[in-house]
Chains A and B, each alone.
Chain A
Amino acid sequence: MPRALSQRLFAFAGVLVVAAILGFLVLPAVVVALAAFNGRAILSFPPETWSLRWFVKALAYEDFQAGFRNGLIVTGWASSIALLVGAGFAFALDRYRFPLRGAIEAVLLSPLVVPHFTVGLGFLIIAAQVGLARSFTTVVACHVVLVLPFVLRSVYVSLRNLDRRFELAAASLGASPGKVLLTVTLPLLAPGLVSGWLFAAILSFNEFTASLFVTAQRTQTLPVAMYNYVREYADPSMAALSVMYIVATATLLTFANAYLGLGKVLNVEHAR
């Protein structure tokens, strides 16, 4: 039966709207990616000539290299410390009942009510007081605070979904509590732990607002270095950096998803 014209028009309009929204979502990435291949020294769209020179320049630029190294140091420490602390809190919240448990849970799991610049400013003031101003310690501590809720949530969700009977079965088979943790609990939580660490790492590596307050020339992370660059120059190296960043993150997440099944951790599909 042929559909009425109005129905077909309506369906067509629907397709248009969806396409427009999707286009709008990827538009910034597309614009930046194309601008990165511009042959000329201006950030324009669409590019008039094509070149890879801005990739070469971005990779060779010393502040970016230092920022990348600093970023890796800060990210590695911050997300690892956040994983340990967050996993500890997640275990405590899941397994034990204690005073103020509800309040602690709410604080640790709440979406970030404190803005990043407040956290950064706070750490700047504290660090100056204790004589750690503009050291890596301060940057790492600041990032731990910022990414902790994400790690905690990831581990906590995995723990809630973990069937306690696996642990009881292990205990009945002669495994001491420590052995149960090592041979059953942690392996079953591994996807949650790794994905928690991964998201913390991505957040930390990207973090700009708070980092601007707590980093110095010696400790500046990549986003801060990019900000400092863009204040003085407006060539497409920034865009080239963005493209490399997107490709690297996408590759990392694709591998992580293939090996760990992040869908399960993110509750996209149910574990059983």
Chain B
Amino acid sequence: MPAERMAPAAANVVPLLGRQDIAVRLDGIVKRFGDVTALQEVQLPIRRGELMTLLGPSGCGKTTLLNLVAGFLSPDRGDIAIDGEVVTTVPPHRREIGMVFQSYALFPHMDVAANVGYGLRMRGLARAEIAARVAEALALVKLTGLGDRRPRQLSGGQQQRVALARALVIRPKVLLLDEPFSALDKSLRGSMQVEVKEIQKQLGVTTIFVTHDQSEALSLSDRIAVMSDGRIRQCGTPDEIYRRPADRFVASFVGDANVLHARLERFEGASAIVALGAARVAVPADALSGLAAGAPVDLFVRPEQLRIAEPGQAVATQGIVATHVYQGGHVDLYADVAEMAHGRLLIRLPGHDAIARWPVGARIAVTLGDAETVAFPRGADAAPLASGNGPAQT
């Protein structure tokens, strides 16, 4: 099996995982632009057939990483392997990758069929086979019959389908998607996301997807690598990223989070018990290791985990309702609470009667229940991010 014959540089990187499970391996990647370090020692194995998202704010290095995999840039240090073969010095046209650009980059001087068939012509395939595979690819993206159109005659969504067909028709080892949905309007974006995900699963093509949109990342990915400042902060499934963020940055960047001033009470095995008002909540201990009992911590609570306290429930915090945002399926209720590190407490309440039951100015008591939360030492690291801190952002 060719995958067993390994290039020596990648031979002993991950001895435990079967090598054929890893389609793309990024190993100790360092990339600098002048004095700016864009990527610092990035380590990322990507499994065959998975959709891996590189998520982070602009300037975090995610696009640089994608360009390194494509071969448009070369790393200052480290190695990139595709299918077990080190390709660090292989030029892009010999890497067998398919890429969809943010602007689609469809060749304006060719019609749709010529665009899609371009990669096949470069591979010197026979005319008949090219025609057959182009037709197949156009059918896959539901553009059958539009082969003789020019790119500028197509809508944004159609252009994106052409770009996807063009990248997939060469049967790439890796599909690279660079913010492909950002140019589409909101209603189209959702349906295209579903479609791309379906096509990706149907073909089983290993995919690296770059986005700054955390909800897009959560809904599409098999795994997410959250990046900031040229580092991967956490890599895991969307659920792991959302429910067990590894640090403050991930906790604030992915999803909405209320940051509440709380106190470490004690450690209990792998958990730490954190006190907020009368409520006690168990959080993973590793993020708080080294802290003494009574130390101040920041408790990160998702807005849907908070509830208005019923009589008899342990009250975590109290406050005054400041405003509501009606969202159809749920209501976002913002309250002024003393324990908030910054901004207002956001509570996401199901149903439509929340506005009537807790009008503006009402005093509310909030309970945590057995919410799954995380806590980090007070004030360490990352500045507060603009998520869930007030109705202005919604």
Contacts and interface: CB of A to CB of B under 8 A. Distances in A.
Nearest to B103: A165
Nearest to A176: B93
Given A168-B70, A179-B122, A173 B91 contact: no
Given A168-B70, A168-B72, A168-B92, A173 B105 contact: no
A175 B166 CA distance: 13
A250 interface: no
Looking at chain A's contact residues, the main secondary structure is helix
Given A165-B103, A168-B92, A179-B122, A173 B109 contact: no
B108 A173 contact: no
Nearest to B102: A165
B109 A188 contact: yes
Contacts of B127: none
B93 A171 contact: yes
Interface string A143-172: 000000000000000000001011011111
Nearest to B99: A172
A184 B92 contact: no
A171 B109 CA distance: 17
A179 B118 CA distance: 11
A172 B103 contact: no
Contacts of A169: 99, 101, 105, 107, 166
B170 interface: yes
B103 A175 contact: no
Interface in A119-148: none
A237 B356 CA distance: 95
B168 to A, nearest CB: 11
Given A165-B103, A166-B107, A179-B122, A173 B72 contact: no
Given A165-B105, A166-B107, A172 B122 contact: no
A102 interface: no
Given A163-B103, A165-B103, A179-B122, A172 B109 contact: no
Contacts of A180: 93
Contacts of B123: 174
A46 interface: no
User: Which of A163, A168, A177 is packed against the most chain B CB atoms within 10 Å?
Assistant: A168
Interface in B74-104: 91-99, 101, 103
A179 B109 CA distance: 15
Q: Which of A173, A179, A188 has its CB near the most chain B CB atoms (within 10 A)?
A: A173
Question: Which of A166, A170, A171, A183 neighbours the largest number of chain B CB atoms within 10 Å of its CB?
Answer: A171
Interface string A22-45: 000000000000000000000000
Contact of A173 (B71, B103, B118): B118
Interface string B111-128: 000000011001100000
Contacts of B99: 168-169, 172
Interface size class of B (residues with CB under 8 A): 20 to 34
A88 interface: no
A147 to B, nearest CB: 27
A188 B108 CA distance: 8
Nearest to B67: A168
A187 B118 CA distance: 14
Given A171-B92, A172-B98, A163 B118 contact: no
A188 B118 CA distance: 15
Nearest to A173: B119
A166 B71 CA distance: 15
Interface string A178-195: 011001100110000000
Given A168-B72, A187-B109, A174 B119 contact: yes
B107 A184 contact: yes
A165 B180 CA distance: 14
B347 to A, nearest CB: 44
| Highest count of chain A CB atoms <10 Å: which of B72, B92, B96, B109 | B92
Given A166-B107, A184-B107, A187-B109, A171 B166 contact: no
B107 A171 contact: no
Nearest to A183: B118
A180 B96 CA distance: 16
A261 to B, nearest CB: 12
B93 A172 contact: yes
Given A172-B70, A173-B119, A179-B122, A166 B93 contact: no
Contacts of A179: 93, 122
A187 B109 CA distance: 7
A180 B107 CA distance: 11
Nearest to A174: B122
A174 B166 CA distance: 12
Contacts of A174: 93-94, 96, 119, 122-123, 170
B355 to A, nearest CB: 46
Contacts of B105: 163, 165-166, 168-169
B280 to A, nearest CB: 54
A184 B119 CA distance: 12
Nearest to B95: A172
A172 B118 contact: no
Contacts of A188: 107-109
A188 B109 CA distance: 7
Given A170-B107, A172-B167, A174-B96, 7 more contacts: A168-B101, A169-B166, A172-B71, A173-B98, A173-B166, A174-B93, A180-B93
Interface of B: 70-72, 91-99, 101, 103, 105, 107-109, 118-119, 122-123, 166-167, 170, 176
25 contacts: A163-B103, A163-B105, A166-B105, A166-B108, A168-B72, A168-B99, A168-B105, A169-B107, A170-B122, A171-B91, A171-B93, A172-B70, A172-B92, A172-B98, A172-B167, A173-B98, A174-B119, A175-B122, A176-B93, A177-B93, A179-B93, A180-B93, A183-B118, A187-B109, A188-B108
